[in-house]
Structure 1
């Protein structure tokens, strides 16, 4: 005859427990996000992208300026070469300037040198006139061969000083821009490196959060939401793990399942209300956990049904002692809450001596528990091989 179970205390199904714990985890994650307010990857990536674009534009401007300065340097080099050629012609002219008037060959050589100097000045003037940037030109009065030699020589010296200074200025400008480009590249590399480190840090943080939430989900799917005890799924997983670790032959170990039903628990809900019923379940669950060894598993199977997986025992007397302690726990909890209603019926099944298939352990212990209830309740009994076979 099925024993009554309070609808309020029917165990939360695995899916329901999972959903409840998932909702709690999500609420906790949202509350944490509201408190910390960590900027997401999008704003950081946007700021980094803007910085990169500005840096690239600056680099483009600097590279363009460097190329322009290099072209200017090449032009200045051509001008200085023309100045040097004009200076060579001037030196030849000076060497022939003091020739005696009656020395006709030297006078002819002087005129040729003077014409060569004038031609060099004209070439220099044409080159300066084609400068891409404004530059002081040679005076027009010093260009003819018959012009004043001293004035032409002074104009040549002035041109040399100007273009030498321009060459130094262009060289300094190129060096400064190259240093600026190198600093910009270092800054951009730092930004990229910083963004990568930040992204990795945020990924690791999000990953840790997801791992934590996944752990919450996994725990919720394997435990009862109200008592915190393992549920049916966790019990069978532990049972399978324990059975696979059993030895064989003389060294083989035995395992057992104690199936517990709380007699009279429905009357607690009917008489005192569901809140008292829940408090009783929580209290008795805590006492069950304290009664067995740390290696054993206490699980909540149904509303007022529990199971204990004993991973190893030496004799039936040890199991009987555990069952008696559980019965005592239920009676003492009932007495402390002044209910005088609840007792416990326990069925015990062992593997591999009484039950040959460990998957049948829980069912065999459950059947034995019902037999105890039919025979007077508030006691325990062991499953028989005949009952397991049936």
Structure 2
């Protein structure tokens, strides 16, 4: 049997991961605090060593002049006593260190100890504890980085687990909704070119007309019906694969040649239509038609075919077509008038029902 984890299983798994992560974080934080204490302790030792070094330099200075006068000798003895006190404090810190460290013997901080030996001792102590402090500081930075990364990973894991558990309840609904959207898109678009089909074109035409009626100002619509002249020869001579490639290329060119507000649709076969939702004059529609014809010519030349051109019929609402539902049929009639007049051009639907060719 195939194992399918349910929401309860995911919740238990996320809780276990969270507990393990929290345990790891507790251990890391405890180590960070320990390293910080070691770092602070090393700082105290280095401060004490610096004070002792200062006392050593003072004693060395008075040692050079101790034989010149009783006052100088007294100052030297005081400096040695100060040095011994500093060394005693330093030895107490070093010898009481919670971590393993080289101890300072009692003979090292006596008043009769050699200043050169004391200087060597202080240098060794400073070097050792500076290395320890730097190592503890680096370890703290590394562990803090681990803590931050673990927190991020746990938060992401927990979030993903919760989202997954919640999503399992809605997965089936999303799948059904996605399939429904795919079916709807497929029913409204041409599978080869990706353009809207006749059903989508008519729906957009209805919506544009309804929006126009709701507007306070007059709203004009236009339909351009495009038929590719000579396209049948492409399929007959070069094959349907070449014909399909031509349709895909010219469809892309059509989309790029019209405005974003205009809708390009494939009616079927080698017939296309362009819904112009707003325009100012017939000259604007004529310019769109010329761009579409140029698309066909350019695609034909790029494909090396040399026989494909376009005939375009143009119908506008509310003049001369007074019913927007007849725009497609009227533009189709105008397109056939172009074909009868020699093809490779465009024509407007005339008020008297005749097409005005151009």
TM-score bucket of the superposed structures, by smaller chain: 0.5 to 0.7
Partners of 2:7 and 2:168 within 8 A in 1? no
Partner of 2:218: 252
Q: Which residue of 1 aligns with 2:325?
A: 359
Give 1:288's aligned residue: 254
CA-to-partner distance for each residue in 1:326-381, whole Å, 9 max, x for gaps?
Answer: 00110010001110010000000000111111110000000110011000000000
Secondary structure, counterpart of 2:179 in structure 1: helix
Q: Which runs of 5+ in 2 are unaligned?
A: 11-161
CA distance in 2, matches of 1:200, 1:315: 56
Instruction: Identify if the C-alpha distance between structure 1 residues 200 and 338 changes in structure 2 by more than 3 Å, giving closer, same or farther.
Output: same
Higher relative contact order, chain-length normalized (CA < 8 Å, sep 6+):
1
How is 1:1-390 mapped onto 2 (pairs within 5 angstroms)? Answer: 44=6, 201-247=167-213, 251-387=217-353
Equivalent in the alignment of 1:57? none
3-state DSSP class of the match of 1:306? strand
Gaps of 5+ in 1: 1-37, 49-195
The 3-state SS of whatever aligns with 1:260 is: strand
Change (3 A) 1:39 1:215: farther
Distance (whole Å) between structure 1 residues aligned to residue 338 and residue 218 of structure 2:
29
Larger radius of gyration: 1
For residues 197 and 300 of structure 1, do their structure 2 counterparts lie closer, same or farther at Cα, with a shift above 3 Å needed?
closer
Provide the C-alpha distance between the structure 2 equivalents of 1:313 and 1:371, rounded to a whole number of angstroms. 23
Distance 1:347 1:198, change over 3 A: closer
Q: Per-residue deviation at 1:215?
A: 1.2
TM-score normalised by length of structure 1: 0.49
Aligned length: 203
**Post-superposition CA distance 1:266-323 (Å, at most 9, x none):** 0001111111100000000000000001111000001000000000000000000000
Residue 350 of structure 1 aligns to a residue whose secondary structure is strand
SS at match of 1:344: strand
User: Do the aligned partners of residues 355 and 39 (structure 1) sit closer, same or farther apart at CA in structure 2, a change above 3 Å counting?
Assistant: farther
Change in 2 beyond 3 A, CA 1:39/1:303: farther
The answer on whether the counterparts of 2:257 and 2:291 sit within 8 Å (CA) in structure 1 is yes
Query: Is the deviation greater in 354-363 or in 211-220?
Result: 211-220
Q: Return the TM-score normalized by structure 2.
A: 0.53
